[in-house]
Chains A and B, each alone.
Chain A
Amino acid sequence: MAEHILEAHSLTKQEAQIPREDWFEASETLQHLRKNKKFPTIWCSGCGLGVIMGALIRAIDHLGLEKDQVALVAGIGCTARMPVYMDFNTLHTTHGRALAFATGLKIARPDMKVIAIMGDGDALAIGGNHFIHAARRNIGITALVVNNSIYGMTGGQYSPTTPVGMRATTAPYGNVEPPFPICDLAIAAGASYVARSTAFHALELDKYLSEAISNEGFSLVEAVSYCHTTYGRINKLGTAAEMMRSLKDNSIPKATFDKLTLEEQQANTKIVRGVLHRKKRPEYTAIYDLLVQQQTHQEEIRLRNVGRY
């Protein structure tokens, strides 16, 4: 290992026992990382995105999918750096268009498991129309939306999911716009599987992600994360570990939420975790294939009858 790396971490050779090449073999999760990339990741120290990346890898690994069977599509942003580190087919696209590219990919290769990884600004502000239309078509894409309530990479501007009253660099006196309820939006638009979890509940996230990937229609998994560097600092929410703890304290399971009275449910400000919606609807590529088959069949009949008239 390079001496300057050891020096930067004030380590001796004995303390950093495992050579870099062997670390990728140390667990099943690490075996799915791309070895030629520069590690550690570009994210800030303690960012929840790394936890969500681990959960996604475990979910794919749990389903036993081949690496070539999975395609990860991402737009622009902190979250969109995630596929860079994972050893699957990846597509890095323009800002907000992850679902648009993913739709094209899914129609061309319906056998592939297409996962669109987006941040909240990527999915709902810049790519808002692609989001609702992908849900309306019920195309078999898994959308993983990481909600950290802010545009992290560009310097902490307020996003469509910043809660009312919270500060951002472009809302220094507090945000006045009500946030988008991502899951409700997807349910209303017609998604067939909608679930929400947080970066703290990583094992729960594994479960929802593997259910979403094996679901046939459009599935949305909202992973609530945090941004302690921009959002946390300007709102004085503490370190990464404190924000991680607040995800634990400020979230309730859906089973508990359902037991509350209507007034309590309306007054609830906590994050509700769980599978929020599950509905079987015909999947887009299946309907499209059917249409193509029907039309080809009719064309054959037409061609057969050409000479008879």
Chain B
Amino acid sequence: MTEAVPAPTQAPARKAPRGEVVIYATWCKGCTICVEFCPTNVLAMHPSGRHPIVAVPENCTACHFCDTHCPDLAIVVRKLA
């Protein structure tokens, strides 16, 4: 009888998110730059493929990549205390 191998656990989520991402979807043109470059994969595309959504908000580190690189100025990141 083999020992039960513990299932690979996911990295524990942080206690609290460090940033809050707000997307203004009607200004977005769906270029996917924010989704491809987000270092912690907070953002994902909406099933319609027209604008991103905040998929994993607790992973945000407030690095401000997405709001400085959004060509349509449709993202604002607020740093949480």
- What residues make up the interface of A, taking CB atoms closer than 8 Å to B? 1, 5-6, 9-11, 15-16, 18, 20, 23, 26-27, 29-30, 33, 39-41, 43-51, 53-55, 58, 200, 202-203, 239-241, 244-245
Q: State which of A30, A200, A240 has its C-beta within 8 Å of the C-beta of B73.
A: A30
Contacts of A11 in B (CB 8 A): 25-26, 51
> In this complex, what residue of B is CB-closest to A39?
B27
Say yes or no: B70 contacts A9, CB within 8 Å.
no
Residues of chain A contacted by B72 (CB below 8 angstroms): 39-41, 50
Contact A40 B74 (CB under 8 A): yes
Which one, B1-9, B11-19, B28-36, is touching chain A? B28-36
Count class of interface residues, chain B: 20 to 34
Contacts A30-B76, A46-B33 hold; do A9 and B71 have CB atoms under 8 A apart?
A: no
B48 touches A10 (CB 8 A): yes
A58 neighbours in B (Cβ, 8 Å): 68
Complex contact B24–A48 (CB within 8 A): no
Main secondary structure of the interface of B (DSSP, over half): loop
Cβ A50 vs Cβ B25 within 8 A: no
Closest to B67 in A: A27
Which A residues lie within 8 Å of B76 (CB)?
Answer: 26-27, 30
Q: Which residues of B contact A55 (CB under 8 A)?
A: 68
**Complex A-B: 22 CB contacts under 8 Å:** A9-B25, A9-B51, A18-B22, A30-B73, A33-B73, A39-B27, A39-B72, A40-B29, A41-B72, A43-B71, A45-B29, A45-B30, A45-B71, A46-B71, A49-B71, A51-B68, A51-B69, A240-B33, A241-B31, A241-B37, A244-B33, A244-B69
Q: Top 7 nearest A-B pairs by Cβ distance?
A: A46-B31, A50-B71, A45-B29, A10-B48, A241-B36, A45-B31, A40-B27
**Given known contacts A30-B73, A51-B68, A241-B33, is B50 in contact with A10 (CB within 8 Å)?**
yes
B30 touching A54, Cβ below 8 Å: no
Contact of B50 with A18 in the complex, beta carbons under 8 Å = no
B-side contacts of A9, CB under 8 Å:
25-26, 28, 48, 50-51
Q: How far is the CA of A50 from the CA of B51 in the complex (A)?
A: 16
Interface residues of B in 26-81 (CB under 8 A from A): 26-33, 36-37, 46, 48, 50-51, 67-74, 76
A29 to B30, CA, bound (A): 21
- Do B71 and A5 have beta carbons less than 8 Å apart? no
Docked Cα-Cα span, A26 to B50, in Å, equals 22
Residue of A nearest to B53 (CB): A15
CB atoms of B28 and A40 under 8 A apart? yes
Please report the C-alpha to C-alpha distance between residue A279 and residue B30 in the assembled complex, in whole angstroms.
43
In the complex, what residues of B have CB within 8 A of residue A241's CB?
A: 31-33, 36-37
